[in-house]
């Protein structure tokens, strides 16, 4: 009887974890549609923030897979070219590697700094993809990149702890239950 209750408890925790994880991705998708009037550059990259938050305590492979999955979702919501999957996969993998090497700790400031750096990296990869596959002048692409990369990095790093705190607390509690 006790073994059955334990299995039922673990199954319900696993289901709840999936619900919270997928729900947080859905929330990020909804938040990505919120833009301030006349301030199009002052928008955090919610998908990037989620990939960083997920990858901080995960393996390299899990970070890459999360980046690809969220990149495909973002490509479906905005535009498939340039692909967000490439840059988010790299962000997920590098974030996981940084954490495994213990270059950074797991606190709000570290997550904000990682998010800042990864936002610049992501926007640079997108600018490289645009350079290789679009007909826009190079000067125009890289001028736009400077503006978008810096504003995205600042806004995303400021909002990252808001997503990190509840998800980190949940995943830590879940690990303690196992």
Position 103 pLDDT exceeds 60:
no
Residue 146: the pLDDT is 85
Percent of the chain with pLDDT over 90: 51
Task: Map tokens 């954490």 to a residue.
Answer: 99
How does pLDDT run across 142-163, given as a tens digit for each residue?
A: 888 888 889 899 999 999 999 9
How does pLDDT run across 4-20, given as a tens digit for each residue?
A: 656 667 788 888 999 99
- Provide the domain count of the chain: 1
Range of the domain at 165: 2-177
Counts of helices then strands in the chain (DSSP H, E): 6, 0
How does pLDDT run across 43-88, given as a tens digit for each residue?
A: 899 999 999 999 998 999 999 999 999 999 999 988 778 889 999 9
Residue 104: give its domain's CATH number. 1.10.1760.20
Residue 100: the pLDDT is 59
pTM for this structure?
Answer: 0.88
Residue 37: the pLDDT is 74
Confidence grade of residue 118 (pLDDT, cut at 50, 70, 90): very high
At 153, is the secondary structure helix, strand, or coil?
helix
**CB-CB neighbours of 64 under 10 Å:** 21
Percent of the chain with pLDDT over 70: 88
| Alpha-carbon gap, residue 9 to 32, rounded angstroms | 34
How does pLDDT run across 159-175, given as a tens digit for each residue?
A: 999 999 999 999 988 88
Confidence grade of residue 129 (pLDDT, cut at 50, 70, 90): confident
Measured in whole angstroms, the distance separating CA 8 from the mean position of its chain's CA atoms is 32
């Amino acid at each position: 009887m006790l073994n059955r209750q334990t299995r039922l408890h673990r199954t319900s925790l696993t289901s709840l974890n999936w619900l919270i994880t997928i729900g947080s991705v859905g929330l990020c998708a909804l938040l990505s549609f919120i833009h301030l009037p006349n301030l199009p550059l002052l928008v955090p990259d919610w998908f990037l923030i989620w990939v960083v938050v997920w990858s901080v305590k995960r393996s390299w492979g899990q970070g890459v897979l999360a980046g690809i999955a969220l990149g495909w979702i973002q490509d479906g919501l905005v535009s498939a070219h340039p692909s967000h999957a490439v840059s988010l996969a790299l962000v997920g993998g590098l974030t996981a590697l940084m954490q495994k090497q213990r270059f950074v700790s797991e606190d709000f400031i570290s997550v904000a700094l990682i998010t800042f750096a990864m936002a610049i990296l992501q926007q640079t990869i997108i600018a490289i993809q645009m350079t290789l596959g679009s007909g826009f002048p190079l000067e125009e692409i890289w001028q736009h990149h400077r503006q978008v990369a810096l504003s995205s990095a600042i806004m995303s790093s400021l909002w990252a702890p808001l997503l990190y705190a509840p998800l980190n607390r949940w995943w830590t509690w879940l690990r303690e239950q196992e």
